Amino acid sequence: MTERSGAHQARKRFGQHFLVDQGVLRAIVSAMGLRQNDLVVEIGPGLAALTQHLLTHLPQMHAVELDRDLVARLRRRFTPEQLVLHEADALSFDFGQLVAQSFEQSVARASPKRKLRIVGNLPYNISSPLLIRLIDQVSIVEDQHFMLQKEVVERLAAGPGQAAYGRLGVLLQAWYCIDFLFEVGPQAFDPPPRVDSAVFRMRPLASPRVHSLSALEAVLAAGFGQRRKMLRGTLLPWLAARGVSAPEIAGTERAEEIPQALWYQLADRLADQLSDQRANTG
């Protein structure tokens, strides 16, 4: 049994593909292992197929939706006591406010402080910038369960030497443990996308494996920007020009052969070097 999009026309500019397969919806909720007191926020609830399943386990949840037509439908369907709806772009939404409000309520009720559990069938066209932006919220997040294109999820979870190993996966694995959970075929959506999808889990690490996001982004851009070339012609001269040494790299390697830990060390060296330069010129 599935729920289709009815009178709402999926909008390409929002990357809308509505998940309608009830078996997949139940599998996502099962993977989350919800507790009644969880602070859950859904990104892009759309036609509320997942929302309604989540609310069978929760007395209340939050949702962030940009499409005004869908916001109106959601407000007609759910009360504010069930669904606290935020009409906003997830790329600029302040998730921290939800934790702050919850903390005020927990103090009043003498209940434990809660962290966010974020879930969503993410629009394909904003997935990478959104995942990177959510790094800023990692200290207030318990976990994240998302659906994306299967090939993107494979990149996020890949390790050195694997074909899918690349810049975005190395970046996100500095802050999260990423688990590939299960695949989802195009027939589970309305309208069906042209790609296979997958559900995955992101759990924040006890402590980040790198100190500076901007330094890591810069090092990875230099290393993976021309990934077919040996690093002696790309990354090593780029680092040397910034006063950063990398004796662990012979130069004949390519970016996909470098383990995550070394990428993080290089980023920390770059961050330290930039900090020293600012201190000397300050």
Domain boundary pick from 165, 181, 204: 204
* CATH number of the domain enclosing 137: 3.40.50.150
Domain span at 105: 12-204
- Residue 1 maps to a domain: no
Among candidate residues 204, 233, 260, the one where a domain is terminated:
204
- Per-residue pLDDT 10s for the chain (282 aa) are 334 445 545 444 445 689 999 999 999 999 999 999 999 999 999 999 999 999 999 999 999 999 999 999 999 999 999 999 999 999 999 999 999 988 777 655 556 679 999 999 998 889 999 999 999 999 999 999 999 999 999 999 999 989 999 999 999 999 999 999 999 999 999 999 999 999 999 999 999 999 999 999 999 999 999 988 999 999 999 999 999 999 999 999 999 999 999 999 999 999 999 998 888 886
Domain identity same for 170 and 196: yes
Does residue 149 sit in the same domain as residue 246?
no
- Prediction pTM value: 0.90
Same domain, 223 and 133: no
Could you report how far apart the first and last alpha carbons of the chain are, in Å? 65
Closest C-alpha to 23, from 216, 267, 188, 245: 188
Q: Identify the H or E element spanning 157.
A: helix 150-157
Identify whether 7 is part of a domain: no
Question: Are 37 and 98 within one domain?
Answer: yes
Half-sphere exposure of 6 (CA within 13 A, CB side): 10
Peptide bond just before 191 cis, omega within 30 deg: yes
